[in-house]
Amino acid sequence: MTSRDGYSWTPQDGLKAGVPTIGAISPPSNVSSSEAVYDVVVIGAGYCGLTAARNCALEGLKVVLLEGRDRIGGRSWSSNIGGYPFEMGGTWVHWGQSNTWREILRYKMQTEVKNSFDFSKGVQHFELNMSGGSATMSHENEDDLVASGLKKFMNVDGAFGRKIVPLPHDTFHVPESKPLDKISALDRINQIASTLTPQERATLEASILLCSGGTLETTSFHEMLHWWAMCGYSYEGWLDKLITWKFKDGQSSFARRFFDEALETKRLTYAFNSAVTKVKDNGSTVTITTRDGRVYRAARAISTVPLNVLKDVVFEPPLSPAKQKALGIGHVNQTVKVHAEISNPALRSWTGITYPHKGVMYAIADGTTPAGNTHIVGFGNQSNHIDPEADIDMTKAAVSSLFCPENYNGQSQQIERLVFHNWSKDEFAKGAWFFSPPGLLSEHLEDMRAPHGNIRFSNSDWALGWRSFIDGAIEEGTRAAMEVRSELQDLKGTRANL
Amino acid sequence: MTSRDGYSWTPQDGLKAGVPTIGAISPPSNVSSSEAVYDVVVIGAGYCGLTAARNCALEGLKVVLLEGRDRIGGRSWSSNIGGYPFEMGGTWVHWGQSNTWREILRYKMQTEVKNSFDFSKGVQHFELNMSGGSATMSHENEDDLVASGLKKFMNVDGAFGRKIVPLPHDTFHVPESKPLDKISALDRINQIASTLTPQERATLEASILLCSGGTLETTSFHEMLHWWAMCGYSYEGWLDKLITWKFKDGQSSFARRFFDEALETKRLTYAFNSAVTKVKDNGSTVTITTRDGRVYRAARAISTVPLNVLKDVVFEPPLSPAKQKALGIGHVNQTVKVHAEISNPALRSWTGITYPHKGVMYAIADGTTPAGNTHIVGFGNQSNHIDPEADIDMTKAAVSSLFCPENYNGQSQQIERLVFHNWSKDEFAKGAWFFSPPGLLSEHLEDMRAPHGNIRFSNSDWALGWRSFIDGAIEEGTRAAMEVRSELQDLKGTRANL
């Protein structure tokens, strides 16, 4: 199956829209009657919606799942090209991510993961291209450099964040930490600037932008601290949890398990290519209208629409002013993620930063493709933002700028394939994973989480723990399903299918 | 409600068997008819059985839950005395424990935890009483000392275990790690003995015995490495995940959520004081006989009986030779856990090791009781094992030996209360949490996990991840419920309550 989403480019075929994925669902709908009233309608088939729909269906509710795309997974999905998976969005998982790993164990997938890094052979170096000149170094020195900058950045309390964010699932557990959400990453860098070497500062800034996908000015410092706390307050935990373990067969192999399990209950109705335009709650029933004019009715609705897209849906009655304010602010992540196959197998043990960058800034080697090329995955952000499909030569140049020819005897690195998804231009995402600008979370976290009549809002964007991650999506889908099932159980008592 | 389990002692009342707990269930049974055939019988109401019963009931199965005790929780339960919770068994939880934290979030209990440690005032020291003399030091120096010994112990691969146990949910992912399960902790200590100072060796040995509850000879080195890997290969992770966060209202407040949620489905039948003596599988139905002669029938059985108790249950047909061999070996943990209220509030910031010990070896201050006393919790093990109720004066002496009078101006520490559960004498536990002797896991992990006809075996003792922990129990209960529900769903098709 091929999804409309995503792009690939090869020298032979040029740019093509749409890539193959096992996340595309066929047939796209199993709706038999538009007259049914469901127990719950779930809007969105990313991990959050999949979890909510699956749990509700498992626990006896009649569910209808509506999705604007032709595939499951939302901001996390994989394209499988020639037997090799490319992760178009959210990628890495870890057993420190409680909701995700619970599901991985439940689906017995704990050995279906592999390490992105293999430093056992090849160039075995990190390349740092700065405006002041380039350097190559061992991965040990890379780790020392990045860890040193990050630790200075995070160490606001003399305990590397342990005192100020001791219980990260309660984001502002220490009230004194709230002011740290009012300052930006740049503000914090300015506090420690005199202690940073130029190399530390460049790698630190690149590391921050790799997390937030925004700019240093639009990145909340507290949210960076929150990530750090979730990772166990250490650089080793940071690497382990953020960028190490991925699915051998790609994210869509995981997402399919949720969808297939829900389908097997025979209580799941679904419709893809069904973008929701309107959600109306008359107090006892929620009526959902999709772009194609279809109408779905349910006792409850679970909206998993991302923060940056929520203002495109009409709600009746209108959302609370506080929620509207939060979604008016939105999140700042405009990450550019580009996969490149490069005809140099020795790059398998390469990592690199080019900073400031020309569209792609931070990259790692992520595998060896069936053709024997090195697969690298590179990241850009809001600064010097590119739309990779708009000008392929510019995108290729952005990838190439990661490599300084003098490190390779003057040879440039030949690009054999590009694969990417433009999340900024995606009408159902309008950005990549959530990252908060200063003030958003300390002022509006509860507003984003609040229900609205019979409608629940559930998304990784406002999860408590691994906010922004697949794990936060599953956390939120679990929460919504439990709330809805519990409410309907109370309402309906011993109804047969409850 | 008061459970038969546990003991308390005060100067006023002396020794009393049975302590109050919200984990005791009244009425002890809701069985209305012995003629029913259930979908599944779950044997044991610890976290594993509670999870299995809850998940099966939520997903439409008719469940009967049988438990020999008068309470839920198995090897993890809390007694609440005068409004203050004492943890009789498994205590600490962390967001790095995926199955546990998933449930904590699901039950919205993420702010119902608190830190055991409070080093903000009082003595603020660690006391090390060794045969060669006693020492007191700051907690920073304590951390440095314990971390140094542990890191030498774990560093078999030059990467602190990361290379040899890279994916801990797949215990022997690296086949070369299997020989490390054939050696004991003592064997490993002997390899590094020349690098250890006397203080490092004493704290290392005490730390190992705190984990295994056995002796150094009966403790598998690989299983110690496995714990270390689960903790993120660092001493900070070790402390965070093993001994930091506990429930404000005690473990039983968490266990109740599972039980109550299962009950609310109206598909849970249960009987406490109902020890199972026989499990007979005729190929289509499993028949369970309890000590009081009652008989229960179900399509499937989930036994959550611990490894050390399983040989007391008669299975027809008999268990496989391999499984019988594993349960003939058993696990080695004979931890002694004793709570003491001590009339010195300044001890709130105290920790101590006495080694070799006289029954209680490793202790930490764990809270301040309503009376203003310091609550300390101390641990002993198979070496110099005591039965705390057998001789209270000896137990008091064992607690007192943690304090060297010269550190307190010659004042001994007055013991105002003792609370404990003798896990070694408990017929339904025969030991504390699982810890493996050399060879057990590399030879029999799969045997312990294998089903037997229509009977599944599910227990933290053979979990993949947090084996021995509450988390492993939930992992295993989740696995069994999913397997049973999936099988019965396939068998029964679209039956109404599936």
Tell me how far apart the alpha carbons of residues A31 and A41 are, in angstroms, rounded to a whole number: 13
Residue of B104, B105, B466 to mutate, testing the A interface (most A Cβ within 10 Å of its Cβ): B105
β-sheet with A336-342: strand ranges across: A14-20, A2-10, A415-420, A336-342, A374-380, A362-368, A350-355, A125-130, A133-137
Chain B residues whose CB is inside 8 A of the A95 CB are 96, 98, 168-169, 230, 465
Contact B279, B126 (CB under 8 A): no
Chain A residues whose CB is inside 8 A of the B95 CB are 96, 98, 168-169, 230, 465
B334's tokens: 């004979």
- Total residues belonging to chain A: 498
Residue of A95, A258, A497 to mutate, testing the B interface (most B Cβ within 10 Å of its Cβ): A95
| Confidence at residue A34, expressed as pLDDT on a 0 to 100 scale | 64
| Confidence at residue A247, expressed as pLDDT on a 0 to 100 scale | 98
Place of tokens 């038969």: B4
Residues B282-338 pLDDT 10s: 999 999 999 999 999 999 999 999 999 999 999 999 999 999 999 999 999 999 999
Cβ-defined contact of B106 to A166 (cutoff 8 Å): no
CA B200 → CA B129, B189, B205, B234, B410, distances in Å? Answer: 13, 11, 8, 17, 27
Confidence grade of residue B102 (pLDDT, cut at 50, 70, 90)? very high
DSSP letter string over A215-227?
A: -TTTSBHHHHHHH
Contact A397, A388 (CB under 8 A): no
Contact B74, B48 (CB under 8 A): yes
**Beta strand B362-368 pairing with B350-355:** antiparallel
Strand partners, B87: B78
Could you tell me where the beta strands, DSSP code E, fall in B165-247? 245-247
Nearest CA in chain B to A105: B475
| Confidence at residue A131, expressed as pLDDT on a 0 to 100 scale | 84
| Confidence at residue A240, expressed as pLDDT on a 0 to 100 scale | 98
Chain B residues whose CB is inside 8 A of the A60 CB are 59-60, 497
Cβ-defined contact of B102 to A99 (cutoff 8 Å): yes
Best CA proximity match to B449, nearest among A69, A313, A108: A108
CA atoms within 13 A on the CB side of B47: 30
More confident residue, A494 or B116: B116
B233: amino acid identity, one letter:
Y
Residues B335-347 pLDDT 10s: 999 999 999 999 9
B57: amino acid identity, one letter:
A
Nearest CA in chain A to B471: A102
Cβ-defined contact of A96 to B96 (cutoff 8 Å): yes
Q: Which residues have a Cβ under 8 Å from the Cβ of A422 and sit 6 or more positions away?
A: A7, A336, A387, A388, A389
A444: amino acid identity, one letter:
H
Asked whether the predicted pLDDT for residue A123 surpasses 70, the reply is yes
Residues B128-186 pLDDT 10s: 999 888 899 999 999 999 999 999 999 999 999 999 999 999 999 999 999 999 999 99
Tell me how far apart the alpha carbons of residues A93 and A96 are, in angstroms, rounded to a whole number: 8
Contact A270, A65 (CB under 8 A): yes
Tell me how far apart the alpha carbons of residues A434 and A423 are, in angstroms, rounded to a whole number: 12
Using the CB atoms, write b or e for B394-423: b if 16+ within 10 Å.
Answer: ebbebbbbbbbeebeeeeebebbbbbbbbb
- A276 marked as part of a ligand binding site: yes
Residues B35-62 pLDDT 10s: 789 999 999 999 999 999 999 999 999 9
Confidence grade of residue B498 (pLDDT, cut at 50, 70, 90)? very low
| Confidence at residue B357, expressed as pLDDT on a 0 to 100 scale | 87
Chain A residues whose CB is inside 8 A of the B113 CB are 167
Residues A380-438 pLDDT 10s: 999 999 999 999 999 999 999 999 988 888 888 999 999 999 999 999 999 999 999 99
> Mapping DSSP to helix (H, G, I), strand (E, B) and coil, where does residue A102 land?
helix
Cβ-defined contact of A232 to B236 (cutoff 8 Å): yes
Residue of A92, A102, A467 to mutate, testing the B interface (most B Cβ within 10 Å of its Cβ): A102
| Confidence at residue B123, expressed as pLDDT on a 0 to 100 scale | 96
Contact A392, A369 (CB under 8 A): no
Cβ-defined contact of A237 to B237 (cutoff 8 Å): yes
| Confidence at residue A493, expressed as pLDDT on a 0 to 100 scale | 59
Report helix angle A47-58 to A470-492, nearest 10.
30
Long-range contacts of B458-462 (CB under 8 A, 24+ apart): B458/B48, B458/B49, B458/B52, B458/B302, B458/B303, B458/B304, B459/B48, B459/B304, B459/B305, B459/B306, B459/B307, B459/B434, B460/B47, B460/B48, B460/B433, B460/B434, B461/B306, B461/B307, B461/B331, B461/B434, B462/B307, B462/B434
Mean pLDDT, chain B, whole residue set? 96
Residues A236-281 pLDDT 10s: 999 999 999 999 999 999 999 999 999 999 999 999 999 999 999 9
Chain B residues whose CB is inside 8 A of the A464 CB are 105, 110
Q: Residue B358, Cα to own-chain centre: how many angstroms?
A: 23
Of A106, A166, A266, the CB nearest to B494: A266
Confidence grade of residue A95 (pLDDT, cut at 50, 70, 90)? very high
Asked whether the predicted pLDDT for residue B493 surpasses 70, the reply is no
Helices (H) and strands (E) in chain B, counts: 12, 21
Tell me how far apart the alpha carbons of residues A203 and A145 are, in angstroms, rounded to a whole number: 8
Residues B379-434 pLDDT 10s: 999 999 999 999 999 999 999 999 998 888 888 899 999 999 999 999 999 999 99
Using the CB atoms, write b or e for B15-27: b if 16+ within 10 Å.
Answer: eeeebbbbbbbee
Asked whether the predicted pLDDT for residue A344 surpasses 90, the reply is yes
User: Hey, how many other C-beta atoms are within 10 angstroms of the C-beta on B336?
Assistant: 27
Residues A24-40 pLDDT 10s: 999 999 999 767 899 99
Contact A436, A220 (CB under 8 A): yes
Q: What angle do CA A334, A167, A113 make, to 5 degrees?
A: 60
Asked whether the predicted pLDDT for residue A496 surpasses 60, the reply is no
Residues A53-93 pLDDT 10s: 999 999 999 999 999 999 999 999 999 999 999 999 999 99
Asked whether the predicted pLDDT for residue A306 surpasses 70, the reply is yes
φ/ψ region of B18 (left if φ > 0, alpha if ψ in -120 to 50, else beta) reads: left
Asked whether the predicted pLDDT for residue B34 surpasses 70, the reply is no
Tell me how far apart the alpha carbons of residues B280 and B301 are, in angstroms, rounded to a whole number: 10
Asked whether the predicted pLDDT for residue B497 surpasses 50, the reply is no
Of all residues in chain A, what percent carry a pLDDT higher than 90?
Answer: 94
Percent helix, strand and coil across chain B, each to the nearest 5: 35, 25, 40
A350's tokens: 């390469």
| Confidence at residue B202, expressed as pLDDT on a 0 to 100 scale | 97
CA A32 → CA A36, A54, A270, A484, distances in Å? Answer: 9, 19, 10, 24
Dihedrals φ, ψ of A367, to 5°?
A: 165, 175
> Mapping DSSP to helix (H, G, I), strand (E, B) and coil, where does residue A162 land?
coil
| Confidence at residue B410, expressed as pLDDT on a 0 to 100 scale | 82
State the complex-level ipTM: 0.96
- Enumerate domains of chain A plus CATH numbers: 2-9+16-78+251-320+450-497 (3.50.50.60), 116-245+331-427 (3.90.660.10)
Dihedrals φ, ψ of A14, to 5°?
A: 70, -160
Tell me how far apart the alpha carbons of residues B131 and A74 are, in angstroms, rounded to a whole number: 62
Tell me how far apart the alpha carbons of residues A94 and B167 are, in angstroms, rounded to a whole number: 10
> Which letter does DSSP use for residue A21 in this model?
-
Tell me if the bond preceding B317 is cis, omega within 30° of 0. yes
| Confidence at residue A33, expressed as pLDDT on a 0 to 100 scale | 75
> Mapping DSSP to helix (H, G, I), strand (E, B) and coil, where does residue B458 land?
coil
Cβ-defined contact of A234 to B234 (cutoff 8 Å): yes
